[in-house]
Chains A and B, each alone.
Chain A
Amino acid sequence: MAKVLMNGNSAIGEAAIRAGCQCYFGYPITPQNELTEYMATHLSRKKGCTFIQAESEISAINMVYGASLAGVRAMTSSSSPGISLKQEGISYLAACELPAVIVNMTRGGPGLGSISAAQSDYFQATRGGGHGDYRTIVLAPSSVQELADLTYKAFDLSDKYRVPLVILGDGMLGQMIEPVEFSYEAPKEPIIRNNALRGAKGRTSRIVKTFTSNPATVEEINWSLFRRYQLIKQEEVVWDTFMVEDAQLIVVAFGIAARIAKGAIKSARIEGMKVGMLRPITLWPFPAEKVREVANRTNYFLVFEMNMGQMIEDVQLALEGAGEVSFYGRTGGVIPTPNEVLRVISRLYYQKGLK
């Protein structure tokens, strides 16, 4: 297929349909409306598919829960304030081992905040977000093309491990238009998982529930989830690197911030500074081992995020004191420029006496 121009939100919609997503439930919120609208136009009329604009995000995530019970691929999307509302539902999805894809086109917070791009929902996404002892897989794309590619992956991973999965984008990725190519064709037949609730025809009836009066049963559920999470940590860590081989200073950044940082690093290289980048693509599981590996080459890290410093804690945990970690962040929806990051890199480079 040839490249087409699309904004990030619509690209997720198209990729989701091609990944076999059959149900979409949403509630309007800027800056992700184009995704809801894309599904209203393109999914609603597909045979066997459902689009509902719910009366709230709480309802939307609960509709996803229902669709997932029925064994089909379902998704919802929102932006920060709406994702806060979905947390209750995500906790139930995790507890019931139900797959679901949840897109967060993050905006500035806390509160109503701003509608501009931010990364301040990192903690919420990577720590589970709702109540209880659970994790979600978190994917962090940094271009419209990657939004599409990671959307296919999202449905596969979520189904494979039966865990809810969060695509953590931001307002700018959602709004910007770039050329994108779709490599998948939508499946001819609907994808229906095993063990779905579709009537106890020819089998014993099934129950999906989380509440029990016996704490030991809940503990057992937690252990079973935990073993699966260990497996995900072993198998599914994804990252990208840029010019780390000879780097004296490593920038760690994800999503749109990584893209801005890459621009800064290219300029820094022209000025003779040996700077490289490690970009986590799965934020959970976090590429901790990779961080330790690059720490064998240099001691100096700069974590750059569009928040007040959240992923930095994962970098520090990974290093266990082995490196010196600095931080630079803009937040609230302020979009830093590559030049701004370059200035921070230069200052650090010389302060630390790197050559």
Chain B
Amino acid sequence: MKKIYTRPKSLKRTPFHYCPGCGHSITHKIMTELIDEMNLQDKTIGIPPPGCSVFAYNYFDIDMAESAHGRGAAVATGLKRAYPEAIVFTYQGDGDLAAIGTAETIHASNRGENITAIFINNAVYGMTGGQMAPTTLLSQKTTTTPYGRDDKIEGYPIKMSEILALVKGSAYIERVAVNSPANIIKAKKAIRKAFQVQIDCLGFSMVEILSPCPTNWKMSPVESWKWIDEVMVKEFPLGVIKDITGKKDAG
């Protein structure tokens, strides 16, 4: 019989600890598929953060090293500089990349570090129990914005992709979502392109992924998929935000 589906080689046989419907699981799945397809399993090094994905190294069958909260881009910088042959990606939540790690991220990007950031935007702090993230939408309720995020007090949802696009050293930045089969296919293409940009030594690449967190959004997985389409993309429009390669789609 012809095999039409199999578990990616670089995805370990460990059940995910993520909640049902969580975008981390989907992202891990397509990333490991890609690592297989691009034949990168033996040279990719991942830097997972504190966050719900802190145990990502239990799932990716590649070299990985945990970073302190927010310092992923700095750790990846050191690693890549010391060992340029590696394909280095950071895997970061919105708290990690867009709050505590803003400085590290902006400066790594500005230096044009040849690294890829996989940025999971789920509009909350997942691991610590659903507090406000810098990407939390206005009037969205979280445990630390119990009355809804108020721009006068908490400011606005931060758009890291747009900010990083302004930085000279960034090469490729795209925002995708993992909330429907069609979007998941697009997300995979974007990550493929980001890796390719790194392979071609063109500079900093980042894929921002709008990712459901049913647990902290207090929704069913299906509702959370809808919420991304109906609410979240209004604030965070999908698409390529910066691309210096000139080529449209590598994928």
**Chain A interface residues (CB < 8 Å from chain B):** 27-30, 33, 36-37, 40-41, 44-45, 53, 55-57, 81, 112
- Are A55 and B100 in contact, CB atoms less than 8 angstroms apart? yes
- Are B128 and A29 in contact, CB atoms less than 8 angstroms apart? yes
Mark the stretch among B17-25, B62-70, B222-230, B234-242 that contacts chain A: B62-70
CB distance from B150 to the nearest CB of A (A): 9
Task: List the A residue with the shortest CB-CB distance to B146.
Answer: A41
Tally inter-chain residue pairs, CB-CB below 8 A: 50
A-contact 0/1 string along B119-130, CB 8 Å cutoff: 000000101110
Q: Is B153 an interface residue when CB atoms closer than 8 A count as contact?
A: yes
Q: Is B203 an interface residue when CB atoms closer than 8 A count as contact?
A: no
- Are B128 and A55 in contact, CB atoms less than 8 angstroms apart? no
Q: Is the interface of B mostly helix, strand, loop or mixed?
A: loop
User: 5 A-B residue contacts at CB 8 Å?
Assistant: A29-B128, A40-B144, A44-B147, A45-B147, A112-B66
CB distance from A60 to the nearest CB of B (A): 10
Add 20 more A-B contacts to A37-B144, A40-B145, A81-B50 (CB < 8 A): A28-B95, A28-B128, A28-B131, A30-B127, A30-B129, A36-B131, A36-B144, A37-B143, A37-B146, A40-B146, A41-B146, A44-B147, A53-B132, A53-B144, A53-B154, A55-B102, A56-B69, A57-B100, A81-B69, A112-B68
Task: List the B residue with the shortest CB-CB distance to A45.
Answer: B147
Residues of A contacting B131 in the complex (Cβ-Cβ under 8 angstroms): 28, 33, 36-37, 53
Q: Is B75 an interface residue when CB atoms closer than 8 A count as contact?
A: no
CB distance from B18 to the nearest CB of A (A): 17
Task: Please provide the chain B residues from 97 to 130 with a CB less than 8 Å away from any CB of chain A in the complex.
Answer: 99-100, 102, 125, 127-129
- Are A112 and B100 in contact, CB atoms less than 8 angstroms apart? no
- Are A28 and B144 in contact, CB atoms less than 8 angstroms apart? yes
Interface size on B, residues (CB 8 A): 24
- In the docked arrangement, what's the CA distance between A103 and B132, Å? 21
CB distance from A301 to the nearest CB of B (A): 37
Residues of B contacting A112 in the complex (Cβ-Cβ under 8 angstroms): 50, 54, 66, 68
CB distance from A187 to the nearest CB of B (A): 24
Given contacts A29-B128, A30-B129, A36-B131, contact A56 B100 (CB under 8 A): yes
Q: Is B46 an interface residue when CB atoms closer than 8 A count as contact?
A: no
Q: Is B134 an interface residue when CB atoms closer than 8 A count as contact?
A: yes
Task: Please provide the chain B residues from 50 to 65 with a CB less than 8 Å away from any CB of chain A in the complex.
Answer: 50, 54
Task: List the A residue with the shortest CB-CB distance to B136.
Answer: A53
Residues of B contacting A29 in the complex (Cβ-Cβ under 8 angstroms): 128
Residues of B contacting A57 in the complex (Cβ-Cβ under 8 angstroms): 100
- In the docked arrangement, what's the CA distance between A89 and B125, Å? 24
